[in-house]
Structure 1
Amino acid sequence: MRQSLDTILLVLGILAVWQLLNWSAGDIAIASPAATFARAGELLTSATFWPHVWETASALVYALLIAILGGLTVGLALGLHKVSGEVAEPILISLYSLPKITLYPLILLVFGLGMSAKVAFGAIHGIIPVAIFTLGAVRTIAPVYFKTARVLRLSRGQLVSTVVVPAAIPELVSGLRVGFSLTLLGVMIGEMFASQRGLGYLIMNAIGTLDVPTMMAVILILATVAIAISGGLLYLDRRLHHRAS
């Protein structure tokens, strides 16, 4: 009950600040909450809006699959080999801190314009944090589990599927939550700079035509969906960590 009340108060506070900014800067700079919600309703009932949603959703799903599968594979491989993990971890952290936008010209050169570039740019945002979280999750597994696996003479595949993954699930979900947010960010940046379809394209097109209500409405829709998915993953993350403790 208290958490729900805090959420409502937070939303009301954001709306109040939003309205104050509208009164201060004017409609040319930021649309009011009422105008934004009205425009969002128009977009959601427009047949021309949903192909852009599908384009962004498709790119996000492909990028997430690559980031999750690639990150889990790299993280598990490094985590199960102590020396490789110790050598690779600072390299992964350095790559994680690198501004990915600097790689965008290279992405365009390799993949060209269109879906493949957006997927690649989203994947490189998400794969490294997933790998780092997975590596950390494997390291926190109690050594007794590995000793038991050696006694039972489990193969590497059996070790991963029956010992490592179940024991590391809470940390893996944390990595997936961070990976989702960053992958979505990468896809949106890709659509903003080199795409003719998608929600990122709509935002940039609205900025170019000074269509502030449309820009704000697309951002509102995108933020609402992203917060809902991240909130679900956060809830699952907390439940798993609580159960593990």
Structure 2
Amino acid sequence: MLGLWQGLHAYAGEAAIASPLAAFRHLSGLLASAGFWSHAGATLTAFAGALVISALLGIGLGLVLGLRRFAGEVAEPILAGLYSIPKVTLYPVILLVFGLGLGAKVAFGVIHGVIPITLFTLTAVKGINPVLIRTARAMRLSQAATIRTILAPAVLPEIVTGLRVGFSLTLLGVLVGEMFASQKGLGFLIVNGISLHNVKQTTAVILMLVIVAVAANGVLLWLDRRFIHRAA
């Protein structure tokens, strides 16, 4: 990857992309500045809120729709169709509803992350052995008790996979929201670097986001494999 990056830099030049060494040097300078951490904190706050909302709403909706088989069969193609809509086209509506600031960034993150988590959970619930559901009905368990004691443990590996995918997409949504509807955050730094033609800043911020995303994805993938191994 570093070799490809260096080759691209040699081909396109400093005006298009900073070299790996220059990007790492600029990133180390950014990490030493208080202003950068203010932007990073704004992104982290918005991302944490969007991820929590996406996870709770997506898992809850997926479990309920999966338990109600007919509702799930109706909702699944609708959710898939809604997710195919380019999210940027919803920017004017999000801006009108939530205004500039934290609310718009969180909303952008949620609309990117909640549907994949819902679909992963819904698919997992649909694949559960029907005997488990019939046993819960024979024991006259409430819907809440069925979800807590049977559905949630059975679909946990798939939920972790959905959260891993939702993590990346929610982060993407928050960054897009910061590019369009904020004057603070890492997404704003990227757009600001582009507008000022500060190639080193843009490349360095993107580099940091890639490192964080890859590390977080690795941790979630380890959890995913661990839960699947336990289930097996």
Q: Which amino acid aligns with 2:191?
A: M
Q: Does 1:243 align with 2:227?
A: no
Q: Distance in 2 between matches of 1:217 and 1:151?
A: 59
Q: Distance in 2 between matches of 1:132 and 1:101?
A: 21
Structure 1 moving runs of 4+ over 4 Å: none
The residue that corresponds to 2:134 in the other structure is 147
Structure 2: state its 5+ residue gaps: none
Q: Does 1:208 align with 2:195?
A: yes
The residue that corresponds to 2:61 in the other structure is 74
Q: Which amino acid aligns with 1:113?
A: L
Q: Distance in 2 between matches of 1:150 and 1:75?
A: 19
Range with bigger deviation, 60-69 or 148-157:
148-157
Match runs of 1:1-245 below 5 Å:
14-245=1-232
SS of residue paired to 2:15: coil
Q: Which amino acid aligns with 1:75?
A: G
What is the identity percentage for the equivalent residue pairs of Structure 1 and Structure 2? Answer: 58
Q: Which amino acid aligns with 2:64?
A: A
The residue that corresponds to 1:6 in the other structure is none
Tell me how many residue pairs correspond in the alignment. 232
1:243 offset after TM fit, Å? 2.6
1:145 offset after TM fit, Å? 1.1
1:177 offset after TM fit, Å? 0.8
- Cα offsets for 1:20-66 (capped at 9, x unmatched): 11111111111011100000100111111101000000000110111
Structure 1: state its 5+ residue gaps: 1-13
Name the TM-score, length of structure 2 as normaliser. 0.97
SS of residue paired to 1:154: coil
Q: Distance in 1 between matches of 2:61 and 2:199?
A: 43
- Cα offsets for 1:180-204 (capped at 9, x unmatched): 1111110000001121100000011
Q: Distance in 1 between matches of 2:64 and 2:133?
A: 15
Name the TM-score, length of structure 1 as normaliser. 0.92
- Cα offsets for 1:45-92 (capped at 9, x unmatched): 111110100000000011011111111121111111111111111101
Q: Distance in 2 between matches of 1:103 and 1:76?
A: 27
Q: Which amino acid aligns with 2:168?
A: S
1:143 offset after TM fit, Å? 1.1
Q: Which amino acid aligns with 1:174?
A: T
- Cα offsets for 1:121-142 (capped at 9, x unmatched): 1101111111111111111111
